[in-house]
Amino acid sequence: MTSSRISARVRQIKPSPSTSAADRANELRRQGKSIVNLVVGEPDFDTPVHIRAAAAEAIEKGATRYTLMAGTVELRQAIVAKLERENDLHYAMNEIIATSGAKSAIYNALAVTLEPGDEVIIPAPYWVSYPDMVLASEGQPVTVACPEENGFKLTAAQLAAAITPKTRWLLINSPSNPTGAIYTADEYRALADVLLQHPQVMVMTDDIYEHIRFDNQPTAHILTVEPALRDRIVVINGVSKTYAMTGWRIGFAAGPTDIIQAMDTLLSQTSGNCCSVSQAAAAAALNGDQRFVSVSVEIYRQRRDATLARINAIPGLSCLSPDGAFYLYVNCGQLMGRTTPDGKVLATDSDVVMYLLESEGVALVAGTAYGLTPYFRLSIATSLPILEEGCTRIARAVAALR
């Protein structure tokens, strides 16, 4: 018996690297250091007024009690309508569950379907929490490196090579955190052709950034490309990124009734239903005026273009233009082997990120956290003056290297 009181299942997972980076930046700021924080992946806008008003109205009407475990009828109806209107995806009420954020939806979908040793294919770069959520569910993450020359996207050949008899899930995030990569309908077609040959493999689509894309086109979905996969797909989404509602903690899953019912059962014995007031706000977000979405995306586009130009003008750094989300995934490979003013050799992207933080006070997240190096992630979900200051400091730090 181990001397630790913490289970082996939990000991093998680690704290979120992005949260750890943000905590370190905040600690240095408290110590009086000037910090440009380009870590946090959340909109810097206020939640739109009509959404806040719906929450206030819900409070005044007394909608502050437990709701149905799967979510209020109003919210689930709004989710059904949104999926049909925006994604051409058709679900019944009993195929929908609201959760305390999209992260909860992903974790609980994994928890109710994975047996010990089941494999989950995760294209890398990936959102930092995916592998650890698989481990916490006693599954085995199988990461597949998707290099920059492939647009950071999984190919059909890679998928076919990664599938084994133990494969339970393929997890796809489009637009991607951290790269902003977006799968096209043709790319989904190629992946679907592989999946049709392996009926044991389910697909989880993390669509949380679907509206933050810069080509004014609707985001393709693998389910509309191949409807025959419907009984094997769980759609994950939420309101946090699109409507600047990160703190409201509302996500949702849409999928086969057996999985949704199992999630309902598990959540009923763990966290319970998500916040009633937040559910009212989320319904208003999905049903209401959508102008905020297009306005905010245009601002992100301006930030992307300005920051991308500044980063690509720094010798030793390069970055593909992201098609969506609000991050730059910056290649810092040319800095490997260079020496800082105090004599430290930069051997990893973590070294680069620490150097930028300690020397110039720029907080970023190393690519190692996302499963593909040597890169760092830079969030553009902050104002242009802050982004410009961050780029100025990064350029100064890189110029000081030998």
Q: d(Cα 232, Cα 203) in Å, to the nearest integer?
A: 6
Q: d(Cα 35, Cα 186) in Å, to the nearest integer?
A: 43
Do the beta carbons of residue 283 and residue 78 sit within 8 Å? yes
In sequence order, what are the beta bridge partners of 331? 318, 375
AA identity, residue 5: R
Pick the CATH number of 9-39+292-397 from 3.40.50.1460, 3.60.15.10, 3.90.1150.10, 3.40.50.150: 3.90.1150.10
Q: Would you call 157 exposed, middle or buried from its count of C-beta atoms within 10 A (0-12, 13-18, 19+)?
A: exposed
For the chain, the domains span 9-39+292-397, 50-287
List b or e across 353-371, with b for residues whose CB sees 16 or more CB atoms inside 10 angstroms: bbbbbebbbbbbbbbbbbb
pLDDT at 29 (0 to 100): 80
Q: Does domain 50-287 have CATH number 3.40.640.10?
A: yes
pLDDT at 2 (0 to 100): 67
Q: d(Cα 348, Cα 171) in Å, to the nearest integer?
A: 27
Do the beta carbons of residue 87 and residue 291 sit within 8 Å? no
Do the beta carbons of residue 179 and residue 322 sit within 8 Å? yes
pTM of this structure: 0.95
Q: What is the pLDDT along the chain (402 residues), one digit of tens a residue?
A: 567 898 888 888 877 776 777 777 788 888 888 999 999 889 999 999 999 999 999 999 999 999 999 999 999 999 999 999 999 999 999 999 999 999 999 999 999 999 999 999 999 999 999 999 999 999 999 999 999 999 999 999 999 999 999 999 999 999 999 999 999 999 999 999 999 999 999 999 999 999 999 988 888 999 999 999 999 999 999 999 999 999 999 999 999 999 999 999 999 999 999 999 999 999 999 999 999 999 999 999 999 999 999 999 999 999 999 999 999 999 999 999 999 999 999 999 999 999 999 999 999 999 999 999 999 999 999 999 999 999 999 999 999 999
